[in-house]
Amino acid sequence: MTETLVFASAVDPVGPWRTALEALLPDVRVRTPEEIGPGDDVRYALVWKPPAGFFARHPGLRLVTILGAGADALVGRDDLPDVPVARLSDPEMARMMTHYVLFAVLRYARDIPAFEAAQRSGRWHYVHPREAREIRVGVLGLGELGGAAALELARQGFSVAGWSRTPKALPGIDCHAGPDALRPFLARSEILVVMLPLTPQTRRLIGADEIAALPRGAALINVSRGAVIDEAALVAALASGHLGGATLDVFETEPLAEGHALWGMENVLVTPHLASVAIPASAARQIAENIQRVRTGRAPEHRVDLRRGY
């Protein structure tokens, strides 16, 4: 019998997902909400921030898959059915994120913003390069994406520390865990990379006091969710010079509002939430495998714990 997967995303085109998923699952039709008709047996949902009330329209759902890694947009919704929710777990997605983090860290490690500024004023500005092992990078969050980025930074020779909720052991990474370890961790991070999920515990976790704990002139890279950082405190620290620079892919409100202070700051690089995206050709395999598991009564992999928030 043919089943239907409903695909809902305002940012990802349905075409490549339909091609990839229907090739792997010939008895599943991929439909957008507008394409669904009375004959459709909607069993699966692949979603990125679906509109309020979306799930209530599909009472036959057996599996919800998030079209990404972060579950924050689904936490606390009152229309979610009591079925497993899985996230994408895709090495290609981790690779894309690692590329962004590596680019941003290398840019600070090699003083590129200073050379960009010097070039704009026609100045020959020599800064003697530091060795990677002298540069202390801190990665907040050592999950699928955070762990992969931290390992690559260590492979590139940086002195890398990581922080997570529960203790971790990653080769070449100085691992720390729990709230008490946060301040000392921040105090040693010349370049801080934020890779935490947005949960009730991490919302505005990085406020004025935490930013003040970073060494003067530190650089901050946020690729997770804007609301993990207190944006007003971030702007103030960038304006005062306590923070030397920031690379921001995510914001409290997206798109970043016209006229927002961050747009005009010389020491800030803004990118429009694309550090990593869901890649149909590789992620479809994981989604198809999970659908087969659910069909045969097995638990899906890469489940999100909605009570925990990630």
Applying CB under 6 A, among 28, 29, 42, 68 the residue interacting with ligand NDP is 68
Catalytic site includes residue 273: yes
How is residue 62 written in tokens?
Answer: 């057996």
For residue 33, cis peptide bond before it (omega within 30 degrees of 0): no
Residue 275 parent element (H or E) = none
> Is residue 273 within the footprint of ligand NDP (CB under 6 A)?
yes
Nearer to ligand NDP, 29 or 251 (CB): 251
For the bound state, the minimum distance from the C-beta of residue 52 to ligand NDP, rounded and expressed in Å, comes to 20
How is residue 260 written in tokens?
Answer: 């927002």
> Of 66-74, 127-135, 280-288, 295-303, which part binds ligand NDP (CB under 6 A)?
66-74
Single out the catalytic residue among 204, 273, 285, 293. 273
Applying CB under 6 A, among 64, 173, 223, 268 the residue interacting with ligand NDP is 223
Catalytic site includes residue 225: yes
Applying CB under 6 A, among 1, 129, 166, 259 the residue interacting with ligand NDP is 166
> Is residue 247 within the footprint of ligand NDP (CB under 6 A)?
no
Closest residue (Cβ) to ligand NDP? 143
Query: Tokens 């690729």 label which residue?
Result: 223
- For 133, counting Cβ atoms within 10 Å of its Cβ (0-12 exposed, 13-18 middle, 19+ buried), the class is exposed
The closest of 15, 2, 20 to 287, measured between CA atoms, is 20
> Is residue 195 within the footprint of ligand NDP (CB under 6 A)?
yes
> Is residue 225 within the footprint of ligand NDP (CB under 6 A)?
yes
- For 126, counting Cβ atoms within 10 Å of its Cβ (0-12 exposed, 13-18 middle, 19+ buried), the class is exposed
The closest of 131, 129, 137 to 111, measured between CA atoms, is 129
Q: Contacts with ligand NDP: how many residues (CB under 6 A)?
A: 29
> Is residue 196 within the footprint of ligand NDP (CB under 6 A)?
yes
For the bound state, the minimum distance from the C-beta of residue 59 to ligand NDP, rounded and expressed in Å, comes to 28
Question: In degrees to the nearest 10, what's the CA dihedral of 183, 189, 190, 192?
Answer: -100
> Of 19-27, 30-38, 65-73, 112-120, which part binds ligand NDP (CB under 6 A)?
65-73
d(CA 119, CA 282): 41
Residue 206 parent element (H or E) = none
The SS3 of residue 84 is: coil
Applying CB under 6 A, among 5, 42, 44, 70 the residue interacting with ligand NDP is 70
Nearer to ligand NDP, 236 or 262 (CB): 262
191-194 vs 85-86, strand pairing mode: unpaired
> Is residue 202 within the footprint of ligand NDP (CB under 6 A)?
yes
Q: From residue 309, give the alpha-carbon distance in Å to each of 150, 201, 274, 306.
A: 22, 9, 22, 5
Kindly list the catalytic residues. 225, 273
**Binding positions for ligand NDP, rule: CB under 6 A:** 68-70, 141-146, 164-166, 195-199, 201-202, 223-225, 249-250, 273-276, 310
